[in-house]
Amino acid sequence: MSYFRSNTLMDTVDERSALENFLSWLEEVKGDTDGIILANYDSNSLEIPVLLIALRRHSLTDCFKHIVIGFCNTYAIFLADLKIRNYTLQALYEQFIGRRPEKYRAQEDAIDLHTILTKYFKTNFYEGVQEKLEIPESDFLPGY
């Protein structure tokens, strides 16, 4: 698989391995807490069903349920709470944090969403989460 921006080859793994790596990473981030709430920013709400279908396809749903205790579509929160013209993650980042170099970068989007939520709710959800958001590029799910 090649990265579409630089046309460089990327290491990939099969879907099951990617899901297992993701679950291991979530377990590490979870630590001794009650569980993880996965926050996303998706106006179409497609990411969670795609993830759940993939987990079910590989019989990993029970493992996932022991780690993840809920989901939060932050797009819905901002849509209900803010009166702004543009609800893209880019626009929110610029409103709360400042300029943002690129419009879509998956790993950086996750870090940026954490930064926005921390600033918006005036709390640090998890100290050190930015270090734990270092997801190797080889863990991208093929086909999505």
The two structure tokens encoding residue 50: 């795609």
Phi-psi region of 127 (alpha: psi -120 to 50; beta: other; left: phi over 0): beta
Query: The tokens of 76 are what?
Result: 């819905």
At 62, which amino acid appears? D
Do residues 60 and 19 lie in contact, with contact meaning Cβ atoms separated by under 8 Å? yes
Q: What is the pLDDT of residues 26-66, one digit of tens each?
A: 999 899 999 999 988 876 677 888 999 999 999 999 999 99
pLDDT in tens, 84-113: 878 787 888 888 888 877 666 677 777 888
For residues 96 and 116, the answer to whether their CB atoms sit within 8 Å is: yes
Residue 87 three-state SS? coil
Give the chain's radius of gyration (CA, Å): 16
Q: What is the pTM of this model?
A: 0.67
